[in-house]
Amino acid sequence: MNIEKYLDVIDQFDSYKRYGKIHRVVGLMIESQGPEASIGDVCYIYPSPDSKQKILAEVVGFNNEKVLLMPYSQLKNIGPGCLVEATGQPLSIKVGRGLIGKVVDSLGKPLDESFLPKGLASYPSDQSPPNPLKRPPIDEPIQVGVKAIDTLLTVGRGQRVGIFAGSGVGKSTLLGMIARNSSADINVIALIGERGREVREFIEKDLGEEGLRKSIVVVATSDQPALMRIKGAYTATAISEYFRDLGYSVNLMMDSVTRVAMAQREVGLATGEPPTTKGYTPSVFAILPKLLERAGTSDTGSITAFYTVLVDGDDMNEPIADTARGILDGHFVLDRRLAEQGRFPAINVLKSVSRVMPQIISGEHQQLAVKVRSMMGVYEENHELIQIGAYKRGTSREIDEAIHHQPKIVNFLKQETNDVVSRTEALKEISELLAGGRG
């Protein structure tokens, strides 16, 4: 038994408890005189001296030697003079294989109010991204189970992809399909800022019993404080990192990054940051790369990440969408026009890109994908002429070929939510599609 290790821990242990008192509360922000604490530390607030109930809060800033705190829950029964106790530790969560199949909140507590299983380990929720030189290159594809993605937008194991769409275009349905059909070992799904009604709907309808069996769902609904919504994203990423370090292939799905950015904007404005682009504070653009860079490959396992990005008014160039697109390794654009035509999943292949695809697929697959995209591009370019009957068949061989194949391509890209198609089957299907005659 290595007793020296335990003696070192005892030597480093701080037996003092540090307290402070609430000075004032303004909106979301609690200002206290003391205790001695650092940014990111968790503190306990006691509504009354003899109260056993305590409210968790986090140190988010300092102002004239006052400590600025934000709570993890609603502010109730808090007033001037309430006691604030410093823990001296950042937020940590309990994680392990026993969490698989569970739905938890941002603090890692089961939402069904059951007890956490035994044998879980403590793990800090806020980690630094891995060293770039310790990231192995992405060199193999991962099956997603969506034909359009597996063939024309192939995703690599450890890649980070953004799913860009307006509201109601099918983001959650697409995430559910990926969770059920993917070849990854474990799914970690973060539902950030969702409507409370949609959480159970997503778990039962989109994810299903089969998907939940290999998933951990982290939920922070829109009614929860801003800090809980931010921590939901951090907690889901930390759970993914834990399993990646054990050697698993993990799918991290976050719906949505935009709501994380909005929550950080609330925190930033409350702490006195200046609003910059579209009201977003500088800290928003500082935390996004830090959060998104945590996913990816490592020496032991991989995190393949899918982040949904809400675009206001279908504007793909709004600040959060633009920032996320610059950080991620690819983007899938869900098109409202395609959804209105009943084409699901409504992925606009021509506007989407997977940046690692050329390095992870065979030459034959690459030729098939280029051919299909080329025909789709030619048809899209001449769409209006074809629709009004101004194009005469035989004028251009390329356009004739595009017209001939267009119905087949549209039919191939459609997929029912319960259809399970392997990557091999999808590639065979697209190969037969192209071999099936010429216009």
330 and 280 co-located in one domain:
yes
Q: Element (H or E) spanning 103, and its range?
A: strand 103-104
Burial 403-434 (b: 16+ CB within 10 A, else e): bbbbebbeebbbbeeeeebebeebbeebeebb
| 186: containing domain | 93-358
Out of 89, 121, 147, a domain closes at 89
Separation of alpha carbons 300 and 255, rounded Å: 26
313 and 427 co-located in one domain:
no
**8 in a domain, yes or no?**
no
411 and 393 co-located in one domain:
yes
Q: What CATH number is attached to the domain comprising 399?
A: 1.20.1270.330
Q: What CATH number is attached to the domain comprising 23?
A: 2.40.10.170
Separation of alpha carbons 90 and 60, rounded Å: 11
**11 in a domain, yes or no?**
no
Provide the pLDDT for residue 360.
96
274 and 197 co-located in one domain:
yes
Provide the pLDDT for residue 439.
43
Provide the pLDDT for residue 75.
79
142 and 266 co-located in one domain:
yes
Out of 64, 89, 114, a domain closes at 89
Which amino acid makes up residue 43? Answer: C
DSSP string, 178-202: HHHH---SEEEEEEEEE-HHHHHHI
Quick: pLDDT tens for 140-187.
999 999 999 999 999 999 999 999 998 889 898 999 999 999 999 999
Query: What is the domain count for the chain?
Result: 3
Quick: pLDDT tens for 164-175.
998 889 898 999
34 and 98 co-located in one domain:
no
Which residue stretches of the chain have pLDDT < 70?
1-2, 6, 9-15, 49-50, 313-314, 437-439
297 and 370 co-located in one domain:
no
78 and 192 co-located in one domain:
no
Q: What CATH number is attached to the domain comprising 333?
A: 3.40.50.12240
275 and 126 co-located in one domain:
yes
pTM: 0.92
